Amino acid sequence: MNKEFEFEFDNLVAINDRSIQKIMKEIDANDLALALNAASDEVHEKIFRNMADHAIPLIKDLIHNLSRTPLEEIVAGQDRILAVWRSLEEAGEIEKA
């Protein structure tokens, strides 16, 4: 798998839950909500499964409030999350599922 494909946002489902949790500790809630606006149901499930129960309604509200956000801003949010993923991957802290 080449690096360009590997770091597409929907490919977050290919890493293990502990790695998802590491990424989520490093990202902004607004970026997460933006990114999830254009993510697959599978990514939503993976992310929500790795969140504290009390945080899920907050993110869902943010997603709803940002639902009319331009695609460029959504992609920018995804790119910021992918940058964290790349950084953690380079540090050897990310594992495949």
- 18-53 pLDDT, tens digit each: 999 999 999 999 999 999 999 999 999 999 999 999
Q: Name the strand (E) or helix (H) holding 62.
A: helix 56-65
Does position 4 have pLDDT exceeding 50, yes or no?
no
Check: CB of residue 59 under 8 Å from CB of residue 27.
no
pTM score: 0.88
**Measuring CA to CA, which residue among 59, 52, 46 is closest to residue 9?**
46
Does position 59 have pLDDT exceeding 80, yes or no?
yes
Residue 67 pLDDT class (50, 70, 90 cuts): confident
- Where are the chain's structural domains? 3-90
CATH code of the region 3-90: 1.10.220.30
Average pLDDT, rounded, for the chain: 91
**Measuring CA to CA, which residue among 1, 6, 7 is closest to residue 81?**
7
